[in-house]
Amino acid sequence: MTEIKKLWHFRQNNSGGKYTGPAYNIVVEGDTIEEAWQEAEKLGATNDGSCPCCGDRWNDANEIKSRDYIIYLDMAIEDRTYTSGNLPLVLGCPEWRRIEFRVSMDFDNFSK
Ligand SMILES: [Zn+2]
């Protein structure tokens, strides 16, 4: 029998004034935050090249514990002001666990 792992959310900080790949948000499984970060790195997340004044591009993860967990998108992402292209909003989460959180943006005419 396989234990179900915890689910973790890494939100990208637009270090240096821009976002890079592989995605704006990474959601991965891991028994610990360290294991989750290893999974995120496999997907391409890195803190190399983060701006010293803005801090690490990928900060600590939050554990996703229920459907009440909401991943908020901000306007800069939606209008791609600070992006280097067309990045996925959320990457890494196994399809069957996508019901464990919601993706939301609090602006008129926008709901996901
Ligand atoms: Zn900076």
pLDDT tens for residues 30-72? 999 999 999 999 999 999 999 999 999 998 899 999 989 999 8
Question: What is the whole-number distance in angstroms between the Cα of residue 19 and the centre of ligand 1?
Answer: 12
Question: What is the whole-number distance in angstroms between the Cα of residue 13 and the centre of ligand 1?
Answer: 10
Look up the pTM and report it.
Answer: 0.88
- Does 112 score more than 50 pLDDT? no
**Residue 48 within any structural domain of the chain:** yes
**Residue 98 within any structural domain of the chain:** yes
Instruction: Note down the domain range covering 25.
Output: 6-104
Confidence of residue 81 (pLDDT cuts 50, 70, 90): confident
Question: What is the whole-number distance in angstroms between the Cα of residue 53 and the centre of ligand 1?
Answer: 4
Question: What is the whole-number distance in angstroms between the Cα of residue 5 and the centre of ligand 1?
Answer: 34
| Whether 26 contacts 92, CB under 8 Å | yes
Question: What is the whole-number distance in angstroms between the Cα of residue 54 and the centre of ligand 1?
Answer: 4
**Residue 1 within any structural domain of the chain:** no
